[in-house]
Structure 1
Amino acid sequence: MMKKRLSGLSATLFGCMMCASLVLPAQVSAAEFSLVRAVPDDVFLVIANTHNPEHEFLDEYWGEVKDAFMATGVCDDAMAMLGTLIDKDQMENVNRLKDKAQKLIDGVNWDDLGSRDFVFAERFASPDIRGSNINMGPPDMVFMFRGGKAADQNYAGLVAILNGMVEEINTATKSDHLQIEQSEYKGAKIAGCNFTRTVHGAPPLTLAITQHDDVIIISLNEDLRNQSIALLAGDKSINCIADNARFKAGFSELPAAEDELVFFDMQAMLKPIQRTIDFVANQGGSNRANDHIINSVRTGEAYQVCQKAWEAYEQKDYKKGLELAQQAKTMSPEDSRVLYAVACFEALNGNKDAAIDSLDSAVKGGFYAPHHMASDPDLDSLRDMAKFQEIVGHATMKATELTKEASDIDEAGTIRLVNRLMNLPGMIDYIATTIHTEGHSVHSDSRLALVENAKDMPFYPVFGGEISKTSKADFDKYLPQETVSYEVTSAIDLNAFYKFVEDSFKIYGEQGEMAWGKWEGFQESVSFNFKKEVLSWFEGGSANVMFEDGGWVSVMNVTDAELAQKQVSRFVEFMSTQMGEMAQQNPMMGMLAMRRVPVEHDELKGFETLYMAMQPMPMAVWGVADGKLVAGSSIDAIAMCLDTAKGKHPGIDKNERVMAEALIPEKDFFSATLKDQRNMGKELQAMIGMASFVSGMMPMVIPDPEPRAIIGKIAGMIAKLSPVAGKIDFFKSTSTCTTFDGQNFWTKQVTHYVSPEERKMASTN
């Protein structure tokens, strides 16, 4: 399967090697999700999937889409167009990279790599706190594949891809500072490269390939990878996610996963972020001094020489580093970063007096970074010198002055506001999802669990009230037999949301109070009160219906139908007046003028039809009926939905296709949807056609012949994608149903696909 997906990468440039090596397969095969036991329990995301024979029909469908794409020749067109934009030598290099990439990719047996089991896991690294400095490096990631007999070949092939990347980067930078390092850990062999090794002070960014028996690991950074290796080796001192109580609880009430499982631990993700926020809060105050570096540039010859000095530093060749730093100083004697580099290398070479003099010059020149100096190990030999403390004190004073000048923000208020907003994601404990295939339908079941004290958090009333539930009896009230798609949703409490926003401004402090006061003052100046004129009648929650001919109806819940009609009418009149005034100044705007025509229908008293200028087709029909605010594409569509509610027209329960495919609520629910997707391919083709038409027209208004030719070629390439979109003809529909029990959101989703037999019959017809 993976081989099919990657065989079309012949036109891929070398820079895509990494993406190819990290691509997540849709399915990998194994009887169980065994690699989950190789994931430690402090990650915030786990995605595991395994092969399910019932799912193979979808792989074949998407394989046809890929084959159709490759048959278009778009990749060759793109390469040909690229050849017109670069010179002959550059194009030869591109072709060399393409051929090299394809050869390296062919060295991996992708079918075997994904033949049994797959897991992806991620976690944020703990903040690195040194004195008054904090640094959050890139996240740790592992992609683990359990394959078959080709594990040795795949390890060698992936290492070759990594080595190819390193070779090309070194060639492009005319250096050899990136190196593949080979190592072993608990029986696993590892080949990795730290891509930030020569960037002084940067956190490590290590991409590595690992083989442990029949498991291949592609990893970013070392800690998570090493823990996974240890778990694979049977290390009992590390807790695995499969034994985590919350992980078990998340899946305990969900159907068994056959295709895929996902566990997203919001609390684990937020923990390092909250620690960073707490650190910043504790560092706050009127005397806080952020590091500032002025009188320095990161371009030019001196900067390049200084970078070479840091490359020597990584090799622990401090003598050579000092020579290069002094050379950079000769080129740019007032650059504060260069002066600081000289100080570091003088100290590392044992020249304390010269180091302290250079450090003094660096600070006087603009290196106002007391926190960095306080934690830089390169300066350890100077810390017992009185002059060092004096220099750091001067840097602190200048940094404090610049910090005060740069910010008039209420830091305490900012921290209060940030912590309040952190409560929004902080309400979520975890999300657990299982996926399985039955016949030609893929089912997903999810549990979004809130933290135990979620009801005490300020945002909970927005969605936790009674209006956030729709009665089972009201589910199909306005859904007629002709329905092909629907969306029935409960309301969030907009008044509670408005209060949350208001309180968030005010919790900030005096500046927040002033900002909210300006909002209220603005409302007074335009004689408009948002709470009174919108929130007082708009409840939220609606039933939205779509029909085969593209028609639609939306039935919205309101608390005061009479006021709703009055306020919407005011808005329509306002827009109509504004468009009319704009048309007087610019006749072209007359096309946007709005006409209001009263509806003559016994059931739609007070309704009106809105037209755009002289267009014969209405924009919308709207009005109030049955205590609801109703809008739709036509008079007949609205009347049909209202008749359905009155029992005068057959309801959706008479639609056999919908009833067979929809997830019908069995109790009060939060939302329920059905999206008909039978025309997905045709809709995509229409979008491609429009994009091709627009891009094809653009050359007419582009005077420059070179970009005009490029746009013309792009238009042709876009048009070639239409047959590809036409191959996406295997969807039937997707339906969801979500319930909320006060502590958990439970969501079921099913996507129905056309069976191979049905697809063949449709193709024949």
Structure 2
Amino acid sequence: MKRIGCGGLCVLGLMFMTLPASAGSVPEQFTLGRYVPGNVWLYMHEVHNPERAFIDKEYAEVFEAFHKSGIINDVKSLVMSNIPSEEDKAKANEALSTAVKLLESVEWGRMTEKEFVYAHRMQAPMPEYVFLFRGAEGSGEKNFKGLRDIVHSIVGFATEAMKQNMPQGEGAPPMPVLEFKQIDGNDNQWTLAFPIPMPYSLDLVRDGDVIGIILGASISGEVRGLMSGKGAVPSIVDNARFREALSQVPSPENGMEFFDVKMMFENINGIVQMALSQGGPGEEIEKIRAVIGKVRGMIDFVDYVLVTHETEGVRDIGTSVCRIQAEKKDSPICKALTDRKAFDAFDKYIPADATGFSMGTGINFGLLYTTIINFIEKDVPEGAAAIAEYRAKLAEVGFDPEKDIFSWLSGEYVVIELPSSGPASPMGMGGGEFALMLRVSDAAKAKERLNTFVEKAKANLPPEAQQQVAINAATGVSAEGFHEVKIMQLAMMMPGLVPVFGVAGDWLCVASSAAAVNKCLATASGDAPSIKTNERFQKEGLTPTGPVTSVNFTDLSNMGQELGMVFGMMGMMSMAVPPGPEGKPARDMLTILTKLGPVMAKLDFFSSEASMTTFDGTTWKTKSVITYKDPKASAPAADSGASSSGKP
């Protein structure tokens, strides 16, 4: 036999050294993935990360506030008040007390302390689900018994209900027996056995401190096999597609989600074809089959999506990849999403004092529209007649979507939130103004169509509306050709709210006021600083270094306060409910919801959310960041371009 020389050994060594670059490995703390079959289309896995202790503490305070609010007792009282019979009330109270006692027998926090997995597989005739938990050390036995007791109680309740609804006495059919029993005499594996064959099952399994709740007989057997080390199927962590996706993102610390979109469509197609086969052969069935095949061919172009999560200081960081099937990248709907103009200078229109923004390449609505029209016309039975009628109706009103909209609208968008320039708060919750910008492919045509629209709108305003609504040339906008809309009743409620719209450069702009659009245009011309100069955005945002398909930044610093205010006003909303007994349940529920105000106000530990996406022709890669308020900070940061409330 030929010996392998030193050179060959070096080559082999290099091959093994480079394996992790081509196939991602699962970190050792993610232990439960080896119990999940590799042919699930959805796999979600979360683990405990000590770095997130400060966030866990904040959420614990939210749950404590909810517990102390008394809402649970209020809801119970509301339900009981609608039960007319005292006997029925007593039975309901007894059932509720039993349910609470059973639920409290499980230490849910300890059961889920270390790991949690959710997996889903589409399989005819019923989908299958896997829930796996790795609890605190020594928690498995007690919690498994608590779960068994819950299922035993449900079985007893169902059996009693069947007894009451089935004929009794001589000649009556035998009573169906619903059992919750051991699997092969194993006290750590239990199944819910139905009296007749059923397309679904419920199993409870345990291995030490690992507990599984499994719906689906087929997947249950596979999970139990993997748990025993004698599995006949590979696990998800050995799935080549999953490992390939994992190699493209940072290693997870907190959790990960894998969506095998291609497999999902294959599974759905199998279920649909099975359902169609039940109808037997026939021309109508074949027509339906052909239409479904065409629809799948149009929308089935994503290969997979993988997201991983990690924590750095006060930031939760997510990274995702979304890959397109190589052979589907030229399909029309895929091209409607991918054949877009990226943003080279994301901050061009975003002022330094913007409180948030969102931009994206969007979708080619023209291509999407023609694709759908052509599909209906050519592939849907009687679709040609339906489209002909649709086009005739459009012609009657003198409107052609392709000519009047899609011929000049490109579809990329920018949404900008700004501080209020006056006493108004047009944005509502959180206050401030806004500007919406849509990229146009033909600015001259866009202006022409917009002017035509304005003239038609003014000409068709009913006489009574002309006293309340006015569309005029905008005053105070630095660009030419803008229009303003004055709605008298709205202006009385929100002084200063005079929306403007028009075309500036390659963008159709719609803004809450002339001041808002002027601020954005001044930034674009270089006469005002952009968001990149904002200190808060520099610390918490994501700044692209090249072309991007989307960038977002959202201020969350006042989220708790704003949600608290919304729920706090529920009591006032109850005054709008009609009086009388019919409206009492609604009034009572709105009053109860008012108590959620202080609970929601506890969600005051968020600072901001940011994300950024790039596209290389086959794969979207997204990085997202949630920044929390630093629990160590003794006081808000001084205002130096970023307000003390946390807004840029």
2:305 aligned to which of 431, 446, 468 = 431
Q: Within 5 Å, which residues of 2 pair with 1:152-163?
A: 152-163=141-152
Contact 2:409 2:441 in 1 (8 A): yes
Contact 1:44 1:264 in 2 (8 A): yes
Q: Note if 1:539 corresponds to 2:406.
A: no
Q: Within 5 Å, which residues of 2 pair with 1:590-605?
A: 593-601=468-476, 603-605=478-480
Contact 2:477 2:517 in 1 (8 A): no
* Structure 1 portions without partners, runs of 5+: 1-29, 128-135, 289-408, 584-588
- Per the TM alignment, residue 411 of structure 1 is displaced from its structure 2 partner at its CA by 4.4
1:85 aligned to which of 79, 82, 93 = 82
What secondary structure, in the 3-state scheme, does the structure 2 residue paired with 1:637 have? helix
2:66 and 2:290 map into 1 onto residues whose CA distance is: 52
- Per the TM alignment, residue 425 of structure 1 is displaced from its structure 2 partner at its CA by 4.4
2:515 and 2:542 map into 1 onto residues whose CA distance is: 27
**Structure 1 residues 575, 498: CA separation in 2 closer, same or farther (over 3 Å shift)?**
same
Aligned to 2:163: 174
In the alignment, residue 250 of structure 1 is paired with which amino acid? A
Aligned to 1:659: 538
Contact 2:377 2:384 in 1 (8 A): yes
**Structure 1 residues 208, 620: CA separation in 2 closer, same or farther (over 3 Å shift)?**
same
Contact 1:166 1:178 in 2 (8 A): no
Contact 1:266 1:430 in 2 (8 A): yes
Q: Note if 1:721 corresponds to 2:603.
A: no
1:417 and 1:145 map into 2 onto residues whose CA distance is: 45
In the alignment, residue 318 of structure 2 is paired with which amino acid? S
1:43 aligned to which of 22, 40, 45 = 40
**Structure 1 residues 272, 170: CA separation in 2 closer, same or farther (over 3 Å shift)?**
same
Aligned to 2:510: 631
What secondary structure, in the 3-state scheme, does the structure 2 residue paired with 1:483 have? coil
**Structure 1 residues 55, 469: CA separation in 2 closer, same or farther (over 3 Å shift)?**
farther
Contact 1:485 1:546 in 2 (8 A): yes
Tell me whether 205-214 or 571-580 shows the greater mean CA deviation: 571-580
CA offsets 1:567-601 (integer angstroms, 9 cap, x no match):
234334444555525x4xxxxx789x421232233
Contact 1:610 1:620 in 2 (8 A): yes
Contact 2:332 2:367 in 1 (8 A): no
**Structure 1 residues 748, 424: CA separation in 2 closer, same or farther (over 3 Å shift)?**
farther
**Structure 1 residues 577, 148: CA separation in 2 closer, same or farther (over 3 Å shift)?**
farther
Aligned to 2:219: 224
Q: Within 5 Å, which residues of 2 pair with 1:186-265?
A: 189-194=188-193, 197-198=194-195, 203-235=198-230, 237-265=232-260
Tell me whether 572-581 or 596-605 shows the greater mean CA deviation: 572-581
2:185 and 2:314 map into 1 onto residues whose CA distance is: 44
2:542 and 2:184 map into 1 onto residues whose CA distance is: 50
- Per the TM alignment, residue 664 of structure 1 is displaced from its structure 2 partner at its CA by 1.6
Aligned to 2:59: 62
1:608 and 1:732 map into 2 onto residues whose CA distance is: 37
2:31 aligned to which of 23, 34, 40 = 34
Q: TM-score, normalised by structure 2?
A: 0.85
Q: Within 5 Å, which residues of 2 pair with 1:12-27?
A: none
- Per the TM alignment, residue 255 of structure 1 is displaced from its structure 2 partner at its CA by 0.5
What secondary structure, in the 3-state scheme, does the structure 1 residue paired with 2:132 have? strand
1:590 and 1:597 map into 2 onto residues whose CA distance is: 12
1:750 aligned to which of 602, 620, 625 = 625
Aligned to 1:298: none
2:132 and 2:317 map into 1 onto residues whose CA distance is: 25
Q: Quick check: which one's helix share is greater?
A: 1
CA offsets 1:710-748 (integer angstroms, 9 cap, x no match):
233223212222111111111111111111112111111
- Per the TM alignment, residue 172 of structure 1 is displaced from its structure 2 partner at its CA by 3.0
What secondary structure, in the 3-state scheme, does the structure 1 residue paired with 2:252 have? coil
What secondary structure, in the 3-state scheme, does the structure 2 residue paired with 1:174 have? helix
Q: Note if 1:683 corresponds to 2:556.
A: no
In the alignment, residue 614 of structure 2 is paired with which amino acid? T
- Per the TM alignment, residue 187 of structure 1 is displaced from its structure 2 partner at its CA by 6.3
Percent identity of the aligned residues?
26
Tell me whether 553-562 or 481-490 shows the greater mean CA deviation: 553-562
Aligned to 1:607: 482
Q: Note if 1:481 corresponds to 2:360.
A: no
- Per the TM alignment, residue 759 of structure 1 is displaced from its structure 2 partner at its CA by 7.6
2:61 and 2:379 map into 1 onto residues whose CA distance is: 56
1:415 and 1:718 map into 2 onto residues whose CA distance is: 48
- Per the TM alignment, residue 214 of structure 1 is displaced from its structure 2 partner at its CA by 3.0
Aligned to 1:495: 366
2:291 aligned to which of 417, 421, 428 = 417
CA offsets 1:544-566 (integer angstroms, 9 cap, x no match):
21113311112221122232233
- Per the TM alignment, residue 206 of structure 1 is displaced from its structure 2 partner at its CA by 1.9
* Root-mean-square deviation (Å): 2.6
In the alignment, residue 496 of structure 1 is paired with which amino acid? L
Q: TM-score, normalised by structure 1?
A: 0.72
**Structure 1 residues 117, 627: CA separation in 2 closer, same or farther (over 3 Å shift)?**
closer
Query: Which one has more relative contact order, counting CA pairs under 8 Å at least 6 apart?
Result: 2
Q: Note if 1:731 corresponds to 2:602.
A: no
2:154 and 2:247 map into 1 onto residues whose CA distance is: 44
CA offsets 1:415-453 (integer angstroms, 9 cap, x no match):
332112213442111111101111111111111111121
2:284 and 2:454 map into 1 onto residues whose CA distance is: 42
Contact 2:191 2:204 in 1 (8 A): yes
1:712 aligned to which of 550, 575, 587 = 587
